[in-house]
Structure 1
């Protein structure tokens, strides 16, 4: 192996380039696998997406001035607010914002996969109607 080559099959996050959306998505999928089994049936329909930043409209609707301040977003109706006869509509969605996550990763120095997991679990907590304390407990269980 020459000095300039890397072993085949290394994830993009290991090649000295900033992890791309696919790498962040793979980390999110791995994080979902760590959730307790009791939660899995309730998150099957939740769409996970990775975008670079939140758009201006989303930021404005949340009262957030700087796009680096939003690392993730849950869009949908929490399970605690649904009725049994509810049907149709768009699937619930969790969006992870790659650039703000990478900025936080650089600033805080924690493992990137743990940061992605933290953001994802926090947003999934909104799907369940959890408080911030509940979300911390869920994260501790995962």
Structure 2
């Protein structure tokens, strides 16, 4: 799958997130990269930053938080475009949840593994 098509799928997944939820996101960017740097080459997504629940009175003058969705690891775990669509949607929701302070344990309990 081309990088352009994968980016379209990420955009489509974001379109499915309720507008009210997206409007509450603060100081965060969402990007697509081919693969993660470092040892975990199977990582599908990554949230880097300060979750909204961790921001206090002293939060300010910081770079935006970053949600990254990784194309190549996602394509490795999916056999069809339909599976890619589903995995991208799950990854996008998963990383947005981290922005709101929801940890992996809670996400798994909610079925967003």
* TM-score normalised to structure 2 length: 0.82
Alignment of 1:74 with 2:47, yes or no, is yes
Specify the alignment match of 1:103 in structure 2: 76
Distance 1:136 1:39, change over 3 A: farther
Distance 1:32 1:86, change over 3 A: same
Alignment partners' CA distance in 2, 1:24 and 1:84: 38
Instruction: Give, in angstroms, the shift of residue 24 of structure 1.
Output: 1.8
Alignment partners' CA distance in 1, 2:96 and 2:20: 14
Q: Indicate if the aligned counterparts of 1:46 and 1:94 stay in contact, CA closer than 8 A.
A: yes
* TM-score normalised to structure 1 length: 0.67
Distance 1:122 1:30, change over 3 A: same
Alignment partners' CA distance in 1, 2:82 and 2:47: 23
Counterpart of 1:43 (choices 8, 11, 25) is: 25
Alignment of 1:52 with 2:34, yes or no, is yes
Q: Indicate if the aligned counterparts of 1:121 and 1:135 stay in contact, CA closer than 8 A.
A: no
Secondary structure of the structure 2 residue equivalent to 1:39: helix
Structure showing the higher strand proportion among its residues: 2
Please list every run of 5 or more consecutive structure 1 residues that lacks an aligned counterpart in the other structure: 1-17
Instruction: Give, in angstroms, the shift of residue 19 of structure 1.
Output: 2.9
Specify the alignment match of 1:12 in structure 2: none
Distance 1:34 1:47, change over 3 A: same
Look at both structures and tell me which one has the larger radius of gyration over its CA atoms. 1
Q: Indicate if the aligned counterparts of 2:94 and 2:107 stay in contact, CA closer than 8 A.
A: no
